[in-house]
């Protein structure tokens, strides 16, 4: 009887365990960042700042400051 009870509890818990594993796998895949995409976004932001910002910009200084602030 105790084995049947344990097996029944396991069958009830198994879908929840599978769901947790699947969700954590999807989150892990989503959390991985593509370095090329990140660099492209950074470059796009820099271009927008250079062309649309009202004041003049010093791109090398802007990049250095951004890197320091990100760290």
- pLDDT by position in tens, the chain (length 71): 555 566 556 567 767 777 777 777 777 666 667 788 888 888 888 888 888 877 887 888 888 888 888 78
**pLDDT at position 29:** 66
pLDDT at residue 57, as a whole number: 77
- The domain of 63 spans 33-71
Region of residue 34 (phi > 0: left; psi between -120 and 50: alpha; otherwise: beta): beta
pTM of the model as a whole: 0.48
- Beta-carbon-side half-sphere exposure of residue 22 (alpha carbons within 13 Å): 6
Q: Is the same domain home to 28 and 43?
A: no
Tokens read off for 21: 């594993």
11: Cβ contacts below 8 Å, ≥ 6 apart? none
**42 shares a domain with 26:** no
Number of structural domains the chain divides into: 2
Q: Do residue 53 and residue 20 come from a single domain? A: no
């Amino acid at each position: 009887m105790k084995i049947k009870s344990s097996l029944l509890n396991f069958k009830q818990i198994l879908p929840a365990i599978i769901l947790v594993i699947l969700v954590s796998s999807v989150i892990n895949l989503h959390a991985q960042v593509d370095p090329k995409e990140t660099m492209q976004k950074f470059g796009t932001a820099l271009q927008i700042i250079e062309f649309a910002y009202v004041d003049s910009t010093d791109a090398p200084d802007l990049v250095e400051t951004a890197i320091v602030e990100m760290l």
